[in-house]
Amino acid sequence: MNLHAKPETAFTRDDAEVRRDWTRDEAQAIHDMPLMDLLFRAQTVHRRSFDANRVQMSRLLSIKTGGCAEDCGYCSQSAHHDSGLKATKLMEVERVLSEARKAKATGATRYCMGAAWREPKDRDMDTILAMIEGVKAMGMETCMTLGMLSDQQVVRLRDAGLDYYNHNVDTSERFYPEVIKTRTYAERLDTLERVRAAGMKVCSGGIMGMGEEPADRVDMLVTLANLSEHPESVPINMLIAIPGTPLENTERIDPIAFVRVIATARILMPKSMVRLSAGRSDMSDEMQAMCFFAGANSIFCGDVLLTADNPGEDKDAILFAKLGLKPMELDSDETPGAIPSPERPACTKITSAH
């Protein structure tokens, strides 16, 4: 037996290409590879396009919380579930800008504003546009997630300078109706195409651990990888099981199964930012380190996501120091918009922790 043999399955010619013709069998075979081969291949793909020690930092703000008409089974903000969350009105522009200023001071390079809407009402659009213009003027990238959009709304958001629109497919087409009944998968894809056609960058991913099968995770990634262009940003969330929602008692996804999804996303979409999104508060340092090794290169920083907990600056600073990770800065060639700055911590008060 040759102990030094290279695992043939770990290398393919195609890994340098951005492909949009993945078959589900190919993707499933990648997902199911021996873990060491999968991680090695994902890391190899990752290093072709990115500095493997840099992580992009985004910050979230809920600009309109709760009372949402949709029935997404995971969500604390749906009016269909009793999560105990207090609904709020759309935030005032000045308050959003003051939060954005703080986020920038802690190093976030992208500011993501989320509203618990099925779709925005036209009467709210002027306020939304003022938020985009204000955040952009601070020199951060802007991202919004407002639900479905009409053609007219897409154009107004783009003209105000919105860089990214987040709209997740969430899971496979097959599993989707088990989680959400008030809108269809096709409606979700329509909005994504509308955003893309208007020339904005797309942020789209999903949630792992909602009771789906591994095949559903693969199908979701194939859907994203075969869109007309790959989403520039692919958030992979781990379900935060929220009391009062239909998914509150769902069994947690196995950490290695989650890492497989990250690695498969990296290989299928080699030039996209893969964001290790919701659920980090329930992940060990080791699990997060494996996710970064598998090709995740973006996180949400700060101690709150939209309504749920996130590790916060101090914990992330310690993790980054342990792993030797550094935040990405804007205006780099490294990503759709980020190069490393040598020393500056992002969203972090870097402490030395070994």
Question: What are the C-alpha distances in Å from 143 to residues 21, 119, 131, 165, 278?
Answer: 28, 16, 11, 5, 16
73 contact choice in ligand SF4, ligand DTB, ligand SAM, none (CB below 5 to 8 Å, kind-dependent): none
Give the dihedral sign, CA 28/30/31/35.
positive
Rounded CA-CA distance 328/342 in Å is 9
Q: How many positions of this chain bind ligand SF4 (CB under 6 A)?
A: 8
Inter-axis angle of helices 24-31 and 214-225, nearest 10: 120
DSSP 8-state class, residue 313:
H
Q: Evaluate whether 297 touches 54 at the Cβ level (below 8 Å).
A: yes
Our finding on whether 77 is near ligand SF4 (CB under 6 A) is: yes
Q: Catalytic residue among 203, 291, 301, 347, which?
A: 203
Per the annotation, the verdict on 347 as an active-site residue is no
In the complex with ligand SAM, the residue whose CB is nearer, 279 or 327, is: 279
DSSP 8-state class, residue 170:
B
Our finding on whether 235 is near ligand DTB (CB under 6 A) is: yes
Q: Which residues are CB-neighbours of 254 under 8 A, at least 6 positions away?
A: none
Report the site for ligand SAM in 207-266 (rule: CB under 6 A): 207, 237, 239-240, 242
Rounded CA-CA distance 223/156 in Å is 27
Q: How many positions of this chain bind ligand DTB (CB under 6 A)?
A: 17
Per the annotation, the verdict on 68 as an active-site residue is yes
Q: Which residues are CB-neighbours of 162 under 8 A, at least 6 positions away?
A: 132, 142, 143, 144, 200
CB of 351 to ligand DTB, least distance (A): 26
If phi over 0 gives left and psi between -120 and 50 gives alpha, with beta otherwise, what is residue 324? left
In the complex with ligand SAM, the residue whose CB is nearer, 38 or 61, is: 61
Per the annotation, the verdict on 143 as an active-site residue is yes
CB of 315 to ligand SAM, least distance (A): 19
Binds ligand SAM by CB under 6 A, chosen from 41, 167, 230, 275? 167
78 contact choice in ligand SAM, ligand SF4, ligand DTB, none (CB below 5 to 8 Å, kind-dependent): ligand SF4
Rounded CA-CA distance 187/174 in Å is 15
In the complex with ligand SF4, the residue whose CB is nearer, 168 or 264, is: 168
Where are the alpha helices (H) located in the chain, listed in sequence order? Answer: 24-31, 35-49, 93-105, 125-137, 151-160, 185-197, 214-225, 255-268, 285-293, 313-323
Rounded CA-CA distance 29/327 in Å is 33
CB of 207 to ligand DTB, least distance (A): 8
Our finding on whether 145 is near ligand DTB (CB under 6 A) is: yes
Write the binding mask 111 to 150 for ligand SF4: x where contact by CB under 6 A, - elsewhere.
Answer: -----x------------------------------x---
**Ramachandran angles phi, psi of 290, nearest 5°:** -65, -35
Report the site for ligand SAM in 294-323 (rule: CB under 6 A): 306
In the complex with ligand DTB, the residue whose CB is nearer, 116 or 259, is: 116
Under the rule (CB under 6 A), what is the footprint of ligand DTB? 60, 76, 112, 114, 145, 166, 168, 205, 235, 237, 240, 277-278, 305-308
Kindly list the catalytic residues.
68, 72, 75, 112, 143, 203, 275
